[in-house]
Structure 1
Amino acid sequence: MAYIHEFGIVTCIEKDKNYVRYEPENYNCIGVDGDLFDELFSKDFGKKMHHLETFAHNTNRPFKSLAYCGITLIPPSSQKQFLNMVSEANNEYKSEELEKLMKKIAAAIKEDKWMIHFGV
């Protein structure tokens, strides 16, 4: 069965809201194939990802990396690092999905908005 990780931009982050509902349509999410993400996480990308400062489900729960089976909030302060990691991975994989993810991250950076990740 195919599964995907979805990434979107949060127009207005609610500091005390628990982001626990699967609502990718609310954030204009793009998908990245789960098998591709598994492959990335098994390499250097996965090791680097454990240094990415994020939040799990709300802005009061600091986290490192992406919540594989949950919801991750990626603050603007971590997005350049995230973009660099995805760009490095795309240099090896040349994936259309990673290209779309890089564009989504760049848009979030430009707009100074938080990102949301829906794991599998």
Structure 2
Amino acid sequence: MDKMTLNGMRFFGYHGVFPEENRLGQNFHVDLVLKLNLEQAARTDELEHSINYADLHAATKKIVEGPPVKLIEALAGRIATALLETYTGITELTVRVTKPNPPFEIHFDGVVVELVRKRDEHGEIVPA
């Protein structure tokens, strides 16, 4: 299966458990890895046979900059579900959400949640 990867998308959102996070907001980084068949796009050089990554970015932005959730696990889940429901050519999707500046006094590069979802033999979205 072919892959399309979008790395390092950066958005500002209001997600978090603490009220200050919901009020002040913070940066979130999102990476996507899509598994899909890109053979026809590679052969024809036509966008209609692929997925426009600008559209993937816009859909992800709408979710991250939209209504807040408490957990980045829920945020990643919303992104995965929305993209798989919208783009039926995606057979499997990995969503990695990084919260680079969690609001507590420890020093690291952020916390990352990675979810992998795919379509089962009936077309249902399930954990991979």
Task: Indicate the structure whose relative CO is greater, using CA pairs within 8 Å and at least 6 residues apart.
Answer: 1
**Structure number with higher strand proportion:** 2
Note whether the superposition's TM-score is higher than 0.5: no
Report which of the two structures shows the higher radius of gyration computed on alpha carbons: 2
TM-score by length of 1: 0.28
TM-score by length of 2: 0.27
